[in-house]
Amino acid sequence: MSNEAQGMRPIIELSHVEKHFGKLHVLKDINLSVQKGEVVVLIGPSGSGKSTLCRTINRLETIDSGSIRIDGELLPEEGKELAKLRSEVGMVFQSFNLFAHKTILQNVTMGPIEVLHTPKAQAEAEAMELLRRVGVAEQANKVPAQLSGGQQQRVAIARSLAMHPKAMLFDEPTSALDPEMINEVLDVMVELAQEGMTMVVVTHEMRFARSVANRVVFMADGTIIEQGDPDEFFDNPQSNRAKEFLNSIKGH
């Protein structure tokens, strides 16, 4: 990593981001920058604002003030420019959100065909390659409801990858999965991280955070309380909030 330090530039850059849900102050002066190839894990108790933060990065949530830049470009507020920027940032959701009426293959080819205007044959060839990579190529002609949760989430990852994103956002990608399916999804994510994908991951999976994250960001009550190297954070958290949180999820 240090050799690349000079060439490093932030792919995602949030500065002084504020957001309210009504009276609730959900994001308070958030400053965060994610370098190219970096894997950042957002962690924190529920209601801490970590999912909201993740969703502001492609403007599924609007912000009240502050700024968000993707690859140096200010995130547009709406219209074509916003759609274009969104197409460059992949998003994987807790509940998969595959298109229920389309086949697995169509789920993956829709973005490239509609947004990037990739010819259908080429989009399908690429999609099959991606589906092979995440291990669900045999399911290409089924519809989402016929797949297990783990398979659906891997399809969702392939769907995002088909857009050749500059960065990927994962909003609790394994929280809706049965325990035996969590690893098949994490394995795909680990592989992605190793290939150098820039990733922001909201998760409670400590093992994943330790093994692939470059940085752990701990949030509570809408603010970033502390951040740092994963091993350091998990073994020796600095703040009381982080200690409390880590204790509360340990011990089973």
Partner 1 sequence: MGLQELLSTYGDMYVQALLVTWRMTAIAFAGAMLLALLVTVARVSPIKPLRKLGDLYVQIFRNIPGVSLLIICVYALPHLKVVLDYGVCVILTTTLVASAFGSENFMSGINTIGVGQVEAARSLGLSFGQILRQVVIPQALRSAVLPMTNLLIAVMLTTALGSQVPLDPPELTGLVSYINTRSVGGILAFFISAIGYAGTAFAIGIVGNQIDKRVRILR
Q: Which residues bind partner 1 (CB under 8 A)?
A: 58, 60, 80, 83-91, 93, 95-101, 110-111, 114-115, 143-146, 156, 159-160, 163
Choice between 12 and 242, CB closer to partner 1: 12
- Least CB distance from residue 239 to partner 1, whole Å? 32
Query: In angstroms, rounded to a whole number, what is the distance separating the alpha carbons of residues 168 and 241?
Result: 28
Min. distance of Cβ 89 from partner 1 in angstroms?
7
Cα–Cα distance list, 53 to 103, 182, 223 (Å): 31, 23, 10
Identity of the residue, 96 or 245, whose beta carbon is nearer to partner 1 in the bound complex? 96
CB of 80 to partner 1, least distance (A): 7
Q: In what order do the strands lie in the sheet with 215-220?
A: 89-92, 167-171, 198-202, 39-43, 215-220, 223-228
CB of 149 to partner 1, least distance (A): 14
Token duo for residue 42: 């957002």
Alpha-carbon torsion (126, 168, 197, 250), positive or negative: negative
Measured from the CB atom, the residue of 5 and 145 that comes closer to partner 1 is: 145
User: CA nearest 109: which of 178, 179, 186, 162?
Assistant: 162
**Closer residue to partner 1 (CB): 8 or 176:** 176
